């Protein structure tokens, strides 16, 4: 990663700490450093002011906390992050403690051989967490969401896990409504949730092929 991206992250953090609006501050930094679309997305997802980062971190729970709780999984958020990591895509450990990808493919997700591998790893990780019930929620407007949900429902039946998977109009709303704990790295969901487990991040920390960048100090 170019040195200018680390310098840009410091400058963006500085502006956010002083109350600049996120989008306005990001525009200034992108223009100053002549950043690419990918570099802009990296900063957008990774850099937070200290109070926001602290609030997000306070909501992170350990794997032990998930035991016997209702776990709601933000389907595409978790799936795409794991897929990206397994495929060698760039991941970033963000200021708020969450690991995020910078693929920006949410609405364009396509089922591939990597999808099956990622789902298998995710379901195995959920089994180890031993939640009381687990529901996956996928945005129905994304192509093949119904097929993904159907596949997960079939797999859950043979896994010993209680739960289901749904293609819904608003996966974010359904995720928040169902779970005692939600699995996501989406900042909007995190801000509204009571407790969050970074399922994709924890999976990828254990995967030695995943490249995780940090822009923090």
Whole-angstrom Cα distance, residue 147 to residue 141?
A: 12
Is CATH 3.40.50 correct for 58-214?
Answer: yes
Going 120 to 126 to 130 to 135, the CA torsion angle's sign is negative
How far is the C-alpha of 88 from the C-alpha of 208, rounded, in Å? 10
Q: Which residues contact 41 (CB under 8 A, 6 or more apart)?
A: 102, 104
Q: How much is the pLDDT for 208?
A: 66
What is this structure's pTM?
Answer: 0.94
The mean pLDDT value for 50-54 works out to: 96
Tell whether the model's pLDDT for residue 210 goes beyond 90: no
- Going by their DSSP bridges, the two strands 70-74 and 181-183 should be labelled as parallel
The pLDDT of residue 59:
98
Categorize the per-residue pLDDT at 1 as very low, low, confident or very high, splitting at 50, 70 and 90: low
Q: Determine contact, residues 165/178, Cβ cutoff 8 Å.
A: no
Mean pLDDT along residues 25-32 = 97
Question: What's the mean pLDDT in 125-147?
Answer: 96
Residue 40 has pLDDT above 90, yes or no: yes
**pLDDT for 89:** 87
Per-residue model confidence as pLDDT tens digits over 157-209: 888 899 999 999 999 999 999 989 999 999 999 999 999 999 999 999 987 67
CA 154, chain centre distance (Å): 24
2 or 122, which is more confident? 122
- Bridge partners (DSSP) listed for residue 164: 135
Residue with tokens 């009571």: 194
Say what the pLDDT of residue 216 is.
74
* 69-128 pLDDT per residue, tens: 999 999 999 999 999 999 988 899 999 999 999 887 767 788 888 999 999 999 999 999
């Amino acid at each position: 990663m170019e040195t200018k991206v680390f310098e840009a992250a410091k400058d963006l953090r500085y502006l956010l700490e002083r109350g600049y609006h996120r989008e306005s501050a990001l525009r200034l930094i992108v223009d100053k450093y002549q950043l690419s679309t990918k570099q802009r997305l990296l900063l957008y997802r990774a850099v937070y002011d200290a109070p926001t980062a602290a609030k997000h971190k306070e909501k992170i729970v350990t794997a032990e906390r998930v035991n016997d709780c209702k776990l709601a999984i933000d389907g595409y958020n978790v799936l795409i992050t794991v897929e990206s990591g397994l495929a060698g895509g760039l991941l970033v450990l963000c200021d708020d403690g969450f690991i995020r990808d910078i693929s920006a493919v949410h609405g364009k997700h396509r089922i591939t051989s990597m999808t099956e591998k990622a789902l298998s790893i995710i379901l195995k990780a959920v089994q180890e967490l031993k939640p009381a019930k687990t529901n996956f929620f996928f945005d129905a407007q994304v192509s093949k969401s119904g097929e993904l949900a159907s596949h997960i429902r079939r797999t859950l039946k043979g896994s010993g896990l209680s739960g289901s998977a749904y293609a819904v109009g608003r996966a974010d709303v359904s995720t928040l409504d169902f779970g005692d704990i939600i699995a996501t790295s989406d900042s909007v969901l995190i801000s509204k949730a009571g407790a969050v487990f970074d399922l994709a991040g924890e999976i990828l920390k254990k995967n030695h092929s995943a490249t995780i960048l940090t822009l923090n100090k």
